[in-house]
Amino acid sequence: MSENKIHRLDAETPLGVIHLVGFAQKPDHHLVIFGLLSAYSGCPVSAADLCESKVNPRPEFPKLDFDVNWTHSQGYCVCAYGERGSRGRLKIGVDLEKFSPKRLHLAERFFSKEESTWLAGLDEACAMQEFFKLWCRKEAFYKCVGGEFFEGTLRRDMQKNPVLVERPDSVEPVAVHFVDLEAAAVGAPMRAAFCVAVSRL
């Protein structure tokens, strides 16, 4: 893919810089991602290096010393990766969602009571923007943290930033930080919400 079709952005987070790259999903977003990671890491990255399973659907590249995550919506893909050497210290989740008024009713069904009550008090245009901001946070949080999505992540109140997560292996709760961006910042050609979640899980 030619460079002029790739949109790059370095997002500052409380835990370090996250590199974001947006591009058209077709013909094969995996090949673009492998090319990006190869260039950044300085070593060849291919499908053979990608580990995914039904138990852990999150993409993992054990040979790389930084975390990687990606998302796609309406034919557009955004890949996010951390600084070299940050594996084990920084975990990433990312989500891109096109605006659609037809999905607003999902807040009452799936979101926390606090979130759905707050959204119900907004006008439709504002409610849609805030709904998708929260939805992106939930998806990015899930990709970063894992766990149960429908009864866990979706029901969790994501209005605060950061969100604290209790961990059995940690005395103190672990913070998950969000960076909410306009989708246009990563080159997305539609009205959409975009979020990066980062943590030291």
Residue ranges per structural domain of the chain? 3-199
Rounded to the nearest angstrom, the gap between the alpha carbon of residue 177 and the centroid of all alpha carbons in its chain is 11
Q: Strands 174-182 and 163-165: what pairing?
A: antiparallel
Task: Name residues of the chain where pLDDT drops below 70.
Answer: 1-4
DSSP 3-state assignment of 71?
A: strand
Per-residue model confidence as pLDDT tens digits over 155-183: 999 999 999 998 887 788 999 999 999 99
Q: Domain 3-199 in CATH: superfamily? A: 4'-phosphopantetheinyl transferase domain (3.90.470.20)
- Per-residue pLDDT of 104-125, as tens digits, reads 999 999 999 999 999 999 999 9
